[in-house]
Protein backbone atom coordinates (compact mmCIF):
# COMPACT_ATOMS: atom_id res chain seq x y z
CA UNK A 1 0.00 0.00 0.00
CA UNK A 2 1.29 3.44 -1.05
CA UNK A 3 0.46 6.33 1.29
CA UNK A 4 -0.15 9.75 -0.28
CA UNK A 5 0.32 12.51 2.29
CA UNK A 6 -2.69 14.85 2.33
CA UNK A 7 -1.78 18.22 3.82
CA UNK A 8 -4.34 20.28 1.91
CA UNK A 9 -1.80 21.35 -0.74
CA UNK A 10 -3.78 21.13 -3.91
CA UNK A 11 -5.45 18.27 -5.69
CA UNK A 12 -3.71 14.99 -4.91
CA UNK A 13 -6.12 12.78 -6.82
CA UNK A 14 -4.06 12.79 -10.04
CA UNK A 15 -1.26 10.92 -8.26
CA UNK A 16 -3.81 8.39 -6.96
CA UNK A 17 -5.28 7.96 -10.47
CA UNK A 18 -1.85 7.25 -11.92
CA UNK A 19 -1.23 4.62 -9.20
CA UNK A 20 -4.66 3.07 -9.87
CA UNK A 21 -3.70 2.82 -13.54
CA UNK A 22 -0.50 1.02 -12.47
CA UNK A 23 -2.58 -1.35 -10.26
CA UNK A 24 -0.88 -0.08 -7.11
CA UNK A 25 -3.21 0.28 -4.15
CA UNK A 26 -2.96 3.62 -2.43
CA UNK A 27 -4.58 5.84 0.16
CA UNK A 28 -4.74 9.64 0.33
CA UNK A 29 -4.77 10.59 3.98
CA UNK A 30 -3.60 12.97 6.68
CA UNK A 31 -3.81 10.20 9.28
CA UNK A 32 -0.24 9.33 10.25
CA UNK A 33 -1.32 5.91 11.59
CA UNK A 34 -2.47 4.92 8.12
CA UNK A 35 0.70 6.36 6.60
CA UNK A 36 2.78 4.43 9.18
CA UNK A 37 1.25 1.28 7.75
CA UNK A 38 2.12 2.20 4.16
CA UNK A 39 5.14 0.57 2.51
CA UNK A 40 5.97 3.76 0.56
CA UNK A 41 5.16 7.42 1.06
CA UNK A 42 4.41 9.91 -1.72
CA UNK A 43 4.60 13.56 -0.69
CA UNK A 44 3.09 15.66 -3.52
CA UNK A 45 1.64 19.16 -3.49
CA UNK A 46 1.05 22.34 -5.41
CA UNK A 47 0.63 25.83 -4.00
CA UNK A 48 2.74 28.10 -1.84
CA UNK A 49 5.54 26.97 0.50
CA UNK A 50 4.36 29.12 3.41
CA UNK A 51 0.85 27.69 3.48
CA UNK A 52 2.18 24.15 2.97
CA UNK A 53 4.55 24.47 5.95
CA UNK A 54 1.78 25.94 8.11
CA UNK A 55 -0.47 22.98 7.26
CA UNK A 56 2.32 20.46 7.90
CA UNK A 57 3.13 21.95 11.32
CA UNK A 58 -0.50 22.26 12.35
CA UNK A 59 -1.21 18.62 11.48
CA UNK A 60 2.05 17.37 12.97
CA UNK A 61 2.88 15.69 9.67
CA UNK A 62 6.18 17.61 9.55
CA UNK A 63 7.55 15.43 12.40
CA UNK A 64 6.22 12.23 10.87
CA UNK A 65 7.78 13.02 7.49
CA UNK A 66 11.19 13.46 9.14
CA UNK A 67 10.63 10.20 11.01
CA UNK A 68 9.66 8.20 7.89
CA UNK A 69 12.76 9.43 6.09
CA UNK A 70 14.91 8.52 9.12
CA UNK A 71 13.31 5.10 9.50
CA UNK A 72 14.23 4.19 5.93
CA UNK A 73 10.75 4.09 4.39
CA UNK A 74 10.92 4.90 0.66
CA UNK A 75 9.69 8.49 0.24
CA UNK A 76 8.97 10.29 -3.06
CA UNK A 77 8.58 14.09 -3.07
CA UNK A 78 6.81 15.75 -5.99
CA UNK A 79 6.87 19.47 -6.93
CA UNK A 80 6.03 21.51 -3.81
CA UNK A 81 6.59 18.37 -1.72
CA UNK A 82 10.15 18.31 -3.05
CA UNK A 83 10.73 21.98 -2.31
CA UNK A 84 9.64 21.91 1.34
CA UNK A 85 12.02 19.00 2.05
CA UNK A 86 14.90 21.52 1.99
CA UNK A 87 15.97 23.98 4.72
CA UNK A 88 14.53 27.12 3.27
CA UNK A 89 12.49 28.49 0.36
CA UNK A 90 12.80 31.96 -1.16
CA UNK A 91 9.04 31.75 -1.69
CA UNK A 92 7.74 33.97 1.09
CA UNK A 93 11.12 33.54 2.88
CA UNK A 94 9.84 30.28 4.40
CA UNK A 95 11.76 27.98 6.77
CA UNK A 96 11.06 24.44 5.57
CA UNK A 97 11.46 20.85 6.83
CA UNK A 98 15.26 20.65 6.68
CA UNK A 99 15.24 16.96 5.73
CA UNK A 100 17.83 17.78 3.07
CA UNK A 101 20.26 20.70 3.34
CA UNK A 102 19.79 23.30 0.70
CA UNK A 103 17.57 26.10 -0.45
CA UNK A 104 14.80 26.69 -2.96
CA UNK A 105 15.33 29.61 -5.35
CA UNK A 106 13.16 31.63 -7.69
CA UNK A 107 13.78 31.73 -11.45
CA UNK A 108 14.99 35.18 -12.42
CA UNK A 109 13.07 36.91 -15.18
CA UNK A 110 16.28 38.19 -16.82
CA UNK A 111 16.69 38.64 -20.52
CA UNK A 112 17.82 35.47 -22.23
CA UNK A 113 20.49 35.15 -24.95
CA UNK A 114 17.73 35.40 -27.58
CA UNK A 115 16.67 38.76 -26.12
CA UNK A 116 13.36 37.51 -24.73
CA UNK A 117 12.26 37.37 -21.15
CA UNK A 118 12.06 34.00 -19.45
CA UNK A 119 8.40 33.21 -18.83
CA UNK A 120 7.61 32.29 -15.27
CA UNK A 121 6.32 29.80 -14.23
CA UNK A 122 8.43 27.26 -16.09
CA UNK A 123 5.39 25.49 -17.53
CA UNK A 124 5.46 22.59 -19.95
CA UNK A 125 7.67 19.72 -21.05
CA UNK A 126 11.40 19.63 -20.55
CA UNK A 127 14.20 17.10 -20.51
CA UNK A 128 15.89 15.76 -17.41
CA UNK A 129 19.48 14.53 -17.61
CA UNK A 130 19.35 11.71 -15.05
CA UNK A 131 22.30 10.09 -13.40
CA UNK A 132 21.85 6.65 -14.88
CA UNK A 133 22.42 4.47 -11.84
CA UNK A 134 19.43 5.20 -9.57
CA UNK A 135 16.79 2.41 -9.52
CA UNK A 136 13.85 4.87 -9.51
CA UNK A 137 15.13 6.52 -12.69
CA UNK A 138 16.27 3.32 -14.40
CA UNK A 139 15.34 2.49 -17.97
CA UNK A 140 14.19 5.96 -19.04
CA UNK A 141 14.96 6.99 -22.60
CA UNK A 142 17.44 9.86 -22.77
CA UNK A 143 15.09 11.98 -24.85
CA UNK A 144 12.14 11.56 -22.47
CA UNK A 145 10.53 14.80 -21.30
CA UNK A 146 8.59 15.57 -18.15
CA UNK A 147 5.84 18.03 -17.28
CA UNK A 148 6.90 20.95 -15.10
CA UNK A 149 4.96 23.82 -13.61
CA UNK A 150 6.85 25.87 -11.04
CA UNK A 151 8.47 29.23 -10.35
CA UNK A 152 10.99 27.97 -7.75
CA UNK A 153 13.62 25.24 -7.97
CA UNK A 154 15.72 23.24 -5.49
CA UNK A 155 19.41 23.92 -4.93
CA UNK A 156 20.74 21.07 -2.74
CA UNK A 157 23.76 21.80 -0.55
CA UNK A 158 25.53 18.65 -1.75
CA UNK A 159 25.94 18.26 -5.50
CA UNK A 160 26.05 14.45 -5.13
CA UNK A 161 22.36 14.45 -4.09
CA UNK A 162 21.38 15.85 -7.49
CA UNK A 163 20.43 12.96 -9.76
CA UNK A 164 18.62 14.94 -12.47
CA UNK A 165 19.32 18.28 -14.16
CA UNK A 166 17.16 20.48 -16.38
CA UNK A 167 17.82 23.65 -18.39
CA UNK A 168 15.51 26.63 -18.21
CA UNK A 169 17.55 29.79 -18.53
CA UNK A 170 19.58 28.30 -15.71
CA UNK A 171 20.66 24.68 -15.24
CA UNK A 172 18.75 23.54 -12.17
CA UNK A 173 18.44 20.37 -10.14
CA UNK A 174 15.15 18.69 -11.06
CA UNK A 175 15.64 15.39 -9.19
CA UNK A 176 17.40 14.63 -5.91
CA UNK A 177 18.09 11.39 -4.09
CA UNK A 178 19.61 10.50 -0.76
CA UNK A 179 19.34 7.00 0.71
CA UNK A 180 15.59 6.14 0.87
CA UNK A 181 14.46 9.59 -0.28
CA UNK A 182 13.88 10.65 -3.88
CA UNK A 183 12.28 13.92 -4.89
CA UNK A 184 11.43 15.44 -8.25
CA UNK A 185 10.43 18.93 -9.31
CA UNK A 186 8.34 17.74 -12.27
CA UNK A 187 5.03 15.86 -12.18
CA UNK A 188 5.55 12.15 -12.98
CA UNK A 189 1.78 11.62 -12.73
CA UNK A 190 1.30 14.02 -15.66
CA UNK A 191 4.33 13.10 -17.74
CA UNK A 192 2.89 10.32 -19.88
CA UNK A 193 4.66 6.98 -20.11
CA UNK A 194 8.09 8.07 -18.79
CA UNK A 195 6.41 9.57 -15.74
CA UNK A 196 4.38 6.42 -15.09
CA UNK A 197 7.63 4.43 -15.38
CA UNK A 198 9.14 6.48 -12.55
CA UNK A 199 6.09 5.90 -10.35
CA UNK A 200 6.17 2.16 -11.13
CA UNK A 201 9.91 2.04 -10.34
CA UNK A 202 9.33 3.85 -7.06
CA UNK A 203 6.57 1.45 -5.99
CA UNK A 204 8.93 -1.49 -6.53
CA UNK A 205 11.91 0.21 -4.87
CA UNK A 206 13.07 -0.98 -1.44
CA UNK A 207 14.63 2.36 -0.61
CA UNK A 208 18.21 1.18 -0.91
CA UNK A 209 20.76 2.66 -3.22
CA UNK A 210 24.53 2.91 -2.93
CA UNK A 211 25.22 6.64 -2.94
CA UNK B 1 15.12 23.67 -23.05
CA UNK B 2 11.37 23.95 -22.71
CA UNK B 3 9.46 22.35 -25.58
CA UNK B 4 6.78 24.18 -27.51
CA UNK B 5 3.45 22.49 -26.85
CA UNK B 6 0.95 21.19 -29.42
CA UNK B 7 -2.53 21.15 -27.91
CA UNK B 8 -5.60 19.66 -29.61
CA UNK B 9 -8.86 21.34 -28.68
CA UNK B 10 -12.03 19.26 -28.38
CA UNK B 11 -15.43 20.95 -28.40
CA UNK B 12 -17.92 19.06 -26.26
CA UNK B 13 -21.68 19.39 -26.09
CA UNK B 14 -23.63 17.27 -23.59
CA UNK B 15 -20.72 14.84 -23.31
CA UNK B 16 -20.23 14.35 -27.08
CA UNK B 17 -17.76 15.91 -29.50
CA UNK B 18 -19.44 18.52 -31.67
CA UNK B 19 -17.13 17.75 -34.57
CA UNK B 20 -16.18 14.11 -34.90
CA UNK B 21 -12.54 13.15 -34.81
CA UNK B 22 -11.48 10.92 -37.67
CA UNK B 23 -8.82 8.31 -37.23
CA UNK B 24 -7.45 5.33 -39.17
CA UNK B 25 -9.85 4.46 -41.96
CA UNK B 26 -11.69 7.71 -41.25
CA UNK B 27 -13.73 6.20 -38.46
CA UNK B 28 -15.64 8.97 -36.76
CA UNK B 29 -15.06 9.09 -33.01
CA UNK B 30 -17.75 10.92 -31.12
CA UNK B 31 -16.63 10.09 -27.60
CA UNK B 32 -14.34 12.77 -26.16
CA UNK B 33 -12.68 10.24 -23.85
CA UNK B 34 -11.62 8.00 -26.76
CA UNK B 35 -10.52 11.01 -28.80
CA UNK B 36 -8.42 12.32 -25.89
CA UNK B 37 -6.83 8.91 -25.46
CA UNK B 38 -5.93 8.75 -29.16
CA UNK B 39 -4.36 12.21 -29.10
CA UNK B 40 -2.46 11.23 -25.95
CA UNK B 41 -1.10 8.19 -27.83
CA UNK B 42 -0.17 10.44 -30.77
CA UNK B 43 1.96 12.69 -28.59
CA UNK B 44 -0.32 15.61 -27.69
CA UNK B 45 1.40 17.69 -25.01
CA UNK B 46 -1.83 18.75 -23.38
CA UNK B 47 -5.54 18.63 -24.25
CA UNK B 48 -8.16 21.36 -24.07
CA UNK B 49 -11.86 20.60 -23.65
CA UNK B 50 -14.26 23.33 -24.44
CA UNK B 51 -17.79 22.71 -23.18
CA UNK B 52 -20.47 24.44 -25.20
CA UNK B 53 -23.40 23.14 -23.16
CA UNK B 54 -24.94 25.51 -20.69
CA UNK B 55 -27.50 23.34 -18.87
CA UNK B 56 -26.98 21.85 -15.42
CA UNK B 57 -27.54 18.41 -16.86
CA UNK B 58 -24.86 19.02 -19.48
CA UNK B 59 -22.50 20.10 -16.71
CA UNK B 60 -22.80 16.85 -14.78
CA UNK B 61 -22.24 14.86 -18.00
CA UNK B 62 -19.13 16.96 -18.61
CA UNK B 63 -17.79 16.21 -15.11
CA UNK B 64 -18.23 12.53 -15.84
CA UNK B 65 -16.23 12.96 -19.07
CA UNK B 66 -13.48 14.77 -17.14
CA UNK B 67 -13.31 11.94 -14.59
CA UNK B 68 -13.08 9.27 -17.28
CA UNK B 69 -10.38 11.24 -19.16
CA UNK B 70 -8.35 11.64 -15.96
CA UNK B 71 -8.35 7.88 -15.41
CA UNK B 72 -6.88 7.18 -18.82
CA UNK B 73 -4.58 9.98 -19.89
CA UNK B 74 -1.57 11.13 -17.93
CA UNK B 75 -0.81 14.51 -19.42
CA UNK B 76 -2.30 17.83 -18.31
CA UNK B 77 -5.68 18.86 -19.63
CA UNK B 78 -7.87 21.90 -19.19
CA UNK B 79 -11.58 22.49 -19.26
CA UNK B 80 -13.32 25.71 -20.27
CA UNK B 81 -16.80 26.93 -21.07
CA UNK B 82 -19.42 28.04 -18.62
CA UNK B 83 -17.12 28.30 -15.60
CA UNK B 84 -18.71 31.09 -13.57
CA UNK B 85 -17.69 30.53 -9.96
CA UNK B 86 -14.84 29.17 -7.87
CA UNK B 87 -17.15 26.26 -7.04
CA UNK B 88 -17.46 25.45 -10.79
CA UNK B 89 -13.65 25.47 -10.92
CA UNK B 90 -13.37 23.22 -7.88
CA UNK B 91 -15.69 20.60 -9.40
CA UNK B 92 -13.72 20.44 -12.65
CA UNK B 93 -10.35 20.30 -10.85
CA UNK B 94 -11.50 17.61 -8.40
CA UNK B 95 -12.79 15.60 -11.35
CA UNK B 96 -9.19 15.57 -12.60
CA UNK B 97 -8.50 18.61 -14.81
CA UNK B 98 -5.19 20.45 -14.24
CA UNK B 99 -6.45 23.78 -15.41
CA UNK B 100 -9.68 25.67 -15.96
CA UNK B 101 -10.16 28.42 -18.47
CA UNK B 102 -12.35 31.45 -18.10
CA UNK B 103 -13.28 33.78 -20.93
CA UNK B 104 -16.56 35.72 -21.02
CA UNK B 105 -16.94 35.09 -17.27
CA UNK B 106 -13.60 36.78 -16.53
CA UNK B 107 -14.43 39.89 -18.56
CA UNK B 108 -17.74 40.26 -16.73
CA UNK B 109 -16.31 39.42 -13.33
CA UNK B 110 -12.50 39.81 -13.24
CA UNK B 111 -12.38 38.83 -9.54
CA UNK B 112 -12.94 35.21 -10.57
CA UNK B 113 -9.30 35.16 -11.79
CA UNK B 114 -7.95 36.30 -8.43
CA UNK B 115 -10.28 34.06 -6.44
CA UNK B 116 -9.43 31.05 -8.59
CA UNK B 117 -5.69 31.72 -8.34
CA UNK B 118 -5.95 32.05 -4.56
CA UNK B 119 -7.89 28.81 -4.24
CA UNK B 120 -5.95 26.62 -6.69
CA UNK B 121 -2.80 28.53 -7.69
CA UNK B 122 -2.16 30.65 -10.78
CA UNK B 123 -0.98 27.61 -12.75
CA UNK B 124 -4.60 26.38 -12.74
CA UNK B 125 -6.13 29.51 -14.20
CA UNK B 126 -6.07 30.01 -17.95
CA UNK B 127 -7.47 33.23 -19.38
CA UNK B 128 -9.27 32.53 -22.64
CA UNK B 129 -9.32 35.59 -24.90
CA UNK B 130 -11.45 35.98 -28.04
CA UNK B 131 -9.98 38.90 -29.94
CA UNK B 132 -11.01 40.82 -33.06
CA UNK B 133 -8.99 43.32 -35.09
CA UNK B 134 -10.57 46.76 -34.89
CA UNK B 135 -11.41 49.04 -37.79
CA UNK B 136 -9.16 51.94 -38.63
CA UNK B 137 -9.82 54.96 -36.45
CA UNK B 138 -11.23 53.06 -33.47
CA UNK B 139 -10.12 54.18 -30.03
CA UNK B 140 -8.68 50.79 -29.01
CA UNK B 141 -4.93 51.54 -28.64
CA UNK B 142 -3.53 48.09 -29.56
CA UNK B 143 -5.86 47.70 -32.53
CA UNK B 144 -7.31 44.52 -31.04
CA UNK B 145 -10.56 44.35 -29.10
CA UNK B 146 -11.90 41.74 -26.69
CA UNK B 147 -15.15 40.10 -27.77
CA UNK B 148 -17.26 37.79 -25.61
CA UNK B 149 -20.16 35.36 -25.91
CA UNK B 150 -18.26 33.35 -28.52
CA UNK B 151 -17.50 36.44 -30.59
CA UNK B 152 -21.03 37.87 -30.65
CA UNK B 153 -20.53 40.79 -28.26
CA UNK B 154 -17.92 43.54 -28.57
CA UNK B 155 -16.68 44.89 -25.23
CA UNK B 156 -14.66 48.01 -26.04
CA UNK B 157 -11.88 46.44 -23.99
CA UNK B 158 -8.34 46.62 -25.38
CA UNK B 159 -6.97 43.08 -25.78
CA UNK B 160 -3.41 43.95 -24.74
CA UNK B 161 -4.60 45.93 -21.73
CA UNK B 162 -6.84 43.06 -20.66
CA UNK B 163 -4.06 40.47 -21.05
CA UNK B 164 -1.77 42.49 -18.77
CA UNK B 165 -4.55 43.14 -16.30
CA UNK B 166 -5.43 39.43 -16.16
CA UNK B 167 -1.78 38.55 -15.52
CA UNK B 168 -1.77 41.05 -12.64
CA UNK B 169 -4.99 39.51 -11.29
CA UNK B 170 -3.36 36.07 -11.20
CA UNK B 171 -3.91 34.29 -14.52
CA UNK B 172 -1.16 31.70 -15.10
CA UNK B 173 -1.51 31.36 -18.84
CA UNK B 174 -3.34 32.91 -21.79
CA UNK B 175 -5.15 31.08 -24.56
CA UNK B 176 -5.38 33.69 -27.29
CA UNK B 177 -7.97 33.10 -29.99
CA UNK B 178 -8.24 35.30 -33.05
CA UNK B 179 -11.87 35.53 -34.15
CA UNK B 180 -10.69 36.79 -37.54
CA UNK B 181 -8.52 33.73 -38.15
CA UNK B 182 -10.71 31.15 -36.38
CA UNK B 183 -11.97 28.43 -38.70
CA UNK B 184 -10.19 29.81 -41.79
CA UNK B 185 -7.33 27.30 -41.68
CA UNK B 186 -5.25 30.01 -43.37
CA UNK B 187 -2.81 30.68 -40.53
CA UNK B 188 -2.72 32.14 -37.04
CA UNK B 189 -2.84 35.88 -36.48
CA UNK B 190 0.91 36.33 -36.05
CA UNK B 191 1.05 40.06 -35.19
CA UNK B 192 -1.58 39.70 -32.47
CA UNK B 193 0.16 36.66 -30.96
CA UNK B 194 3.56 38.37 -30.88
CA UNK B 195 2.06 41.56 -29.45
CA UNK B 196 0.45 39.76 -26.51
CA UNK B 197 3.19 37.19 -25.92
CA UNK B 198 5.99 39.76 -25.83
CA UNK B 199 4.12 41.98 -23.37
CA UNK B 200 3.20 39.43 -20.71
CA UNK B 201 5.39 37.26 -18.50
CA UNK B 202 3.11 34.20 -18.63
CA UNK B 203 2.87 31.57 -21.39
CA UNK B 204 0.63 32.25 -24.39
CA UNK B 205 -1.17 29.53 -26.37
CA UNK B 206 -2.02 30.68 -29.90
CA UNK B 207 -5.42 29.68 -31.24
CA UNK B 208 -7.40 30.12 -34.42
CA UNK B 209 -6.37 29.59 -38.03
CA UNK B 210 -4.19 26.48 -37.98
CA UNK B 211 -4.43 24.65 -41.31
CA UNK B 212 -0.96 23.21 -41.92
CA UNK B 213 2.28 22.61 -40.03
CA UNK B 214 3.88 25.74 -41.57
CA UNK B 215 1.30 27.85 -39.74
CA UNK B 216 2.27 26.29 -36.44
CA UNK B 217 5.97 26.81 -37.13
CA UNK B 218 5.31 30.47 -37.89
CA UNK B 219 3.29 31.19 -34.76
CA UNK B 220 5.80 29.43 -32.50
CA UNK B 221 8.74 31.34 -33.99
CA UNK B 222 7.75 34.71 -35.46
CA UNK B 223 4.59 34.84 -33.34
CA UNK B 224 6.57 34.02 -30.14
CA UNK B 225 3.81 31.70 -28.88
CA UNK B 226 4.67 29.13 -26.22
CA UNK B 227 2.12 26.63 -27.47
CA UNK B 228 -0.26 26.15 -30.39
CA UNK B 229 -3.88 25.02 -30.27
CA UNK B 230 -5.00 22.82 -33.16
CA UNK B 231 -8.49 21.62 -34.06
CA UNK B 232 -9.84 20.90 -37.58
CA UNK B 233 -6.46 20.06 -39.10
CA UNK B 234 -6.03 17.15 -36.71
CA UNK B 235 -9.71 16.25 -36.17
CA UNK B 236 -10.24 15.66 -39.89
CA UNK B 237 -6.95 13.85 -40.11
CA UNK B 238 -5.44 16.16 -42.68
CA UNK B 239 -2.43 16.06 -40.34
CA UNK B 240 -1.45 14.12 -37.25
CA UNK B 241 0.13 15.48 -34.09
CA UNK B 242 3.13 13.24 -34.70
CA UNK B 243 3.63 14.69 -38.15
CA UNK B 244 3.34 18.27 -36.86
CA UNK B 245 5.92 17.62 -34.16
CA UNK B 246 8.34 15.95 -36.57
CA UNK B 247 7.96 18.96 -38.90
CA UNK B 248 8.80 21.37 -36.07
CA UNK B 249 11.66 19.24 -34.78
CA UNK B 250 13.24 19.06 -38.25
CA UNK B 251 13.20 22.85 -38.39
CA UNK B 252 14.93 23.33 -35.07
CA UNK B 253 11.91 24.05 -32.88
CA UNK B 254 12.03 22.29 -29.50
CA UNK B 255 9.20 19.74 -29.53
CA UNK B 256 8.65 16.71 -27.32
CA UNK B 257 9.54 13.78 -29.57
CA UNK B 258 9.40 10.90 -27.12
CA UNK B 259 6.21 9.78 -25.43
So what's the pLDDT on residue B251?
A: 98
> In terms of Cα–Cα distance, which of B163, B190, B168, B169 is closest to B178?
B190
H or E stretch at B94: helix B86-94
Return the residue of B nearest to A108 by Cα.
B201
Active-site annotation holder among A24, A40, A173, A189 = A189
Cross-chain CB nearest to A109 (options B72, B172, B201) = B201
Contact A121 B123 (CB under 8 A): yes
Min Cα separation A209/chain B (Å): 27
A50-82 pLDDT, tens digit per residue, is 999 999 999 999 999 999 999 999 999 999 999
Which helix (H) or strand (E) segment is B120 a member of? helix B111-120
**A126 and B2: CB-CB below 8 Å?**
yes
How many alpha carbons lie under 13 Å from residue A42 in its C-beta half-sphere? 32
Q: What's the whole-number mean pLDDT along residues A7-31? A: 93
| Interface membership of A109 toward B (CB under 8 Å) | yes
In order, the DSSP letters of B149-195 are: TTTTEEEEEEHHHHHHHHHHHT--EEEEEETTTTTT-S---HHHHHH
What is the mean predicted confidence (pLDDT) over A183-201? 97
Task: Reply yes or no on whether the pLDDT at B77 is more than 90.
Answer: yes
Do residues A138 and A182 touch, judged by C-beta distance below 8 A?
no
Whole-complex ipTM: 0.93
Give B91's contacts (C-beta < 8 A, 6+ positions apart): B63
The pLDDT score that the predictor gives to residue B183 is: 87
Using the beta-carbon criterion (under 8 Å), do A124 and B203 form an inter-chain contact? yes
- Is the predicted pLDDT of residue A10 greater than 80, yes or no? no
A121 in contact with B at a CB cutoff of 8 Å? yes
Q: Looking at chain A, which residue has its C-alpha nearest residue B122? A: A47
Burial code (b: 16+ CB inside 10 Å, e: under 16) for B117-150 equals bebbbbbbbbbbbbbbbbeeeeebebbbbbbbee
Using a CB–CB cutoff of 8 Å, tell me whether B24 touches chain A.
no
Residue B11 has pLDDT above 80, yes or no: yes
Amino acid sequence: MIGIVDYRAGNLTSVARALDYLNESCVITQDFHLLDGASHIIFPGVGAAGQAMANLRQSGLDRHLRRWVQEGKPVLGICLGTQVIFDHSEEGDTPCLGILSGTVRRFRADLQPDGRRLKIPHMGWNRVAFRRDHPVFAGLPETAEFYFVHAFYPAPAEERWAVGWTDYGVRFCSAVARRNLVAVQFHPEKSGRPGLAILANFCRWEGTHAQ
Amino acid sequence: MLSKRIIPCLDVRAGKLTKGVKFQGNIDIGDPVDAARLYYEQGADEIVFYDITASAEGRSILLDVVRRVAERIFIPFSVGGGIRTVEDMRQVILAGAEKVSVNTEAVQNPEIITEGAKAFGSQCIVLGMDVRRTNLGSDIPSGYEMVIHGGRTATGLDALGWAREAERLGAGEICLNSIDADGTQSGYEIDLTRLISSHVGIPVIASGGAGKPEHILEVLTRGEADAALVASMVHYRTHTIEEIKAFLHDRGVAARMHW
